[in-house]
A and B are shown apart, each in its own frame.
Chain A
Amino acid sequence: MSVSKSVRIDDPSGFHIRPAQLFQEAASRFPCDIRVKTEDGRQADAKSVLGLMMLGLAQGDSISIEADGEGAEEAVETLVSLIRGGFGDSS
C-alpha cells in the first residue's frame, strides 16, 4: 500500500542539519520505505540526512512524503506533523 501527503515547510531555515536529523530519526523508526519528493520531481530517501539536506529545501517549499509498506500511513502522518510542528524546536 502506498500513502502520500503534501506539506509546506514553514521553518525559516529550511532543512538544515538538525531538522534533517530529527526527520531522519523519526523516519528510521518505521520499517517501510519513505521518500521525500520536491515539486520539481527530485526525491530523497527519508532515512538519509545527506539526501534530505541535498534537496536544498527552503522555507515555503512544498514537498510530498510517500511511504510504501508496513506502517506507511502512520509514518506519513508522523513526518507531516513533525514538519507542521516546526520540529518541536525553533532553532
Chain B
Amino acid sequence: MKETIFYGKGVSAGIGIGRLYVYSPPETAASSGSEAAEPLRALERAKEAAERDLRRLIGKTEREAGKDKAAILSGHLSILNDPMFYGDIAERIKAGEAAADAVRAVARRLAEHFRAMGSGYMRERADDIDDIAARLLRGLSGDSGTSLSAMPDGEWIVVAPSLLPSETAELDLAKVRGLVLMRGGETSHTVLMARSVGLPVVIGPERLLDSLRHGETAAIDGGTGQIVVGSDFTALQQRMADRRREEAALAERYRDRPAVTADGVRVELAINIGSAEEAELVHRHGADGVGLFRTEYLFMQRPVPPDEQTQFEAYRRAASLLRGKPAVIRTLDVGGDKPAAGLGSAGEANPFLGFRAIRICLKRLDVFRTQLRAILRASAYGRVMILVPMISHVREFVEAKAEVERVREALEKEGAAVAHHVEVGPMIETPSAALMARALAREADFFSIGTNDLTQYTLAVDRLNEHVAELYDHYHPAVLKLMKHAADCAREQAKRVGICGSMAGEELAAPLLIGMGIGEWSMPAASVPAIKRYVSKLTSATCADVCRRALELEEPGQVRALLERTRREALGE
C-alpha cells in the first residue's frame, strides 16, 4: 500500500500507531423544527443527562489524571446549574423560544462577556461555556455525537479539528494511541493533559483534515511531528519498532561516551525539559545536564503564579535528579502570544514585540523575586544556573542580575542554604543582544543563544504565519553572523557560550556550532545519541572551514547544501 507522510508540529512526545478515528464534533445546530412538544421537559432531561455524563467524567479524570485536572469539569457542573445559565435558558423557553435557540442565545451572551474580560484566565472560561452549551444541545437533539466515549475496541489515533476539555476527558486511554489536532496551542488544556498521561500529540495544518480518512492506518511521532499514513498496520509497527531499536542501539552505544570530535574537541550536550521529572532523561540518553528548563509550564493553566514552595520543590527535584550535573533554569518566559497565570497583557497588536519574559519580570518584581528565591534555594541541592530570556538592553540584564544578588542576600540573612556561586547568563535571542554581546559578556557568566527567536527577530518573519513561514530559516547567514559575533565576544572574555534553539538538536548544524566555538548545546533528549555520533566523525579543521564558508554564502539554501554535503561525507552515506 502506498504510504504518505505529513508533517505537523509534535507537541507531546511519543510514538503512536493505530487506525485513524476522525472525530467530528456533533452537529449542534439542531433545527428548531425538531423541537420536542414539551421543550422545558426536554431541557430538564438534557440537563440531567449532562450532569450524569459530567459526574462520570469527573470520576474518570480524577482516577487517570488527578484531582487537579478534574477541577475544570466540576466547574462545568456548577455552571450547568447556574441561575444565569440554566435559569435564563428556562426563562426564554417559557417565553416561547425554542429550546436549542435559547441555549445558544444564553451561551453566546455569556461567552461574549467572558471573552471581553481583562484576564486571560477569565477569557478561557468562555470555552467552558461553549463546552457546556454543546453538551446540552447534544442532549436536546438526542444526538450523542460520533461520541468519543463509545469508540469501538481497537487502537485508534483520534483526528479532530480541536478537542474541548470535556471531550479530552472522554478519551478512553485503553484505546487511544495518539491525537492529531488542527488547532490548540502547546499549552492548551488538551495538550497539557495528553503530556501528563504520555499520549503523543501532533498539531497539523488545517488542510490535513481533508487528507486523513477514517479507518486508515497511521503512525504519529509526537516528537518530530511526523504522521505516516496508509501503510498496513503490521508494516508500520515493524518500522516503528525497527526505528526504536535503532535509536535504542545508538543510545546504548553512545550513552557513556562524551561528545568529542575525532581530534579531541569536547562539546557538552544538554537537554531541554519542561518539568522536573524529565531531568531523569539526562541519564537515560547520556547527556551532560539540562541546558534549558522551561519554567513557564509551571505557570500555565493557573489563575495566579505558583508560590515559592511549589516552584522550589520543582527546581530542587530537577537539581537532585541530575546528581551533580548542571541545570540551566530559564526564568519565566511568558507573555505576548502565551499569557499565563494572569501575567502579560493579551490582545497586544504585536505580541512578539510586546510585554513578555524579562520585560514582565522587571515590572512584576514580586513574581520575579518569588521565582529567584525558589531557584536560589534549590541551588543548595545541585548545580543550578539562571538564564534570563528576551534581553534587548544591557541594563535589563544588569537589573536582573542585581535582583538575583538582592534575593541572595535576603535568603542568607534568613539563614537559608544557597550555593556559594550561582551563575547568571542572558539569552541571546534578539539581534540587539547579539550585537551588544561584548558589553553583555562583561556582565554575564555565560551566554545561551536562542536561535528560534533570534531567527524570527533577525529575519522579521513570524514563523506561525503560513504566508511568510517559508522565509523563516535559521541557517540564514544573517542569523549565523549574529551567532558568530556573540560567540566571539563571549570567548574573548573567557565566558562559556551555549545554544538552546531547535538548531542545537539538528545534526546538520553540528560543524557550524563547533566552528563558531559554541560549546554547550541544549536539545530534545532523543537527539543526543545521533548528535554524539556525528560529532565523533568531525574534526575541528573541517568545522572551522565549513563555518567560514557558510558565513560567506548569501542564502540559507546554500548553507543547507553545504551542511548536507559535509554530513554525507562525514557519515559516509
Interface residues of A (CB under 8 A from B): 12-14, 16-18, 20-21, 24, 45, 47-51, 53-54, 56, 58, 90
Contacts and interface: CB of A to CB of B under 8 A. Distances in A.
Interface in B62-85: 71-72, 74-75, 78-79, 82-85
B114 A54 contact: yes
Contacts of B125: 17, 53
A14 B122 CA distance: 11
Contact of A48 (B71, B82, B118, B119): B82
A49 B78 CA distance: 7
Interface string B522-547: 00000000000000000000000000
A48 B307 contact: no
Nearest to A19: B303
Interface of B: 71-72, 74-75, 78-79, 82-85, 110, 113-114, 117-119, 121-122, 125, 303-304, 307, 342
A11 to B, nearest CB: 9
Contacts of B121: 16
A17 B303 CA distance: 9
Contacts of B82: 48-51
Contacts of B75: 17-18, 21, 49
A86 to B, nearest CB: 13
Contacts of B110: 50
Given A18-B71, A53-B122, A54-B114, A24 B84 contact: no
B367 to A, nearest CB: 10
Contact of A47 (B83, B118, B307): B83
A20 B128 CA distance: 15
A51 B74 contact: no
B495 to A, nearest CB: 38
A48 B88 CA distance: 12
18 contacts: A13-B304, A16-B121, A17-B75, A17-B78, A17-B125, A21-B78, A24-B78, A45-B84, A48-B83, A48-B84, A49-B79, A50-B85, A51-B84, A53-B114, A53-B125, A54-B117, A56-B119, A56-B122
A50 B79 contact: yes
Given A16-B121, A17-B72, 8 more contacts: A17-B78, A49-B75, A50-B79, A53-B122, A54-B117, A56-B117, A56-B122, A90-B307
A13 B303 contact: yes
Contacts of A54: 84, 113-114, 117
A13 B121 CA distance: 10
Contacts of A24: 78
Contacts of A21: 74-75, 78
Nearest to B77: A21
A13 B122 contact: no
Nearest to A90: B307
A12 B85 CA distance: 27
Among B78, B114, B125, chain A packs the most CB atoms within 10 A around the CB of B78
Nearest to B88: A50
A12 B78 CA distance: 22
A45 B83 contact: yes
A56 B122 CA distance: 8
Contacts of A16: 121-122, 303
Contact of B118 (A17, A20, A56): A56
* Complex A-B, nearest 8 residue pairs according to Cβ-Cβ distance, in ascending order: A16-B303, A13-B304, A13-B303, A50-B84, A17-B75, A49-B78, A50-B82, A48-B84
Given A17-B125, A21-B75, A56-B117, A12 B83 contact: no
Contacts of A58: 119
A52 to B, nearest CB: 10
A30 to B, nearest CB: 15
Contacts of B303: 13-14, 16
Contacts of A12: 304
Contacts of A45: 83-84
B528 to A, nearest CB: 37
Given A53-B122, A56-B117, A13 B342 contact: yes
A23 to B, nearest CB: 11
A21 B82 CA distance: 10
Contacts of B72: 17
Among A12, A16, A58, chain B packs the most CB atoms within 10 A around the CB of A16
Contacts of A51: 82-84
B77 to A, nearest CB: 9
Contacts of B85: 50
A50 B87 CA distance: 12
Contacts of B304: 12-13
B44 to A, nearest CB: 19
Contacts of B83: 45, 47-48, 51
A90 to B, nearest CB: 7
A14 B125 CA distance: 15
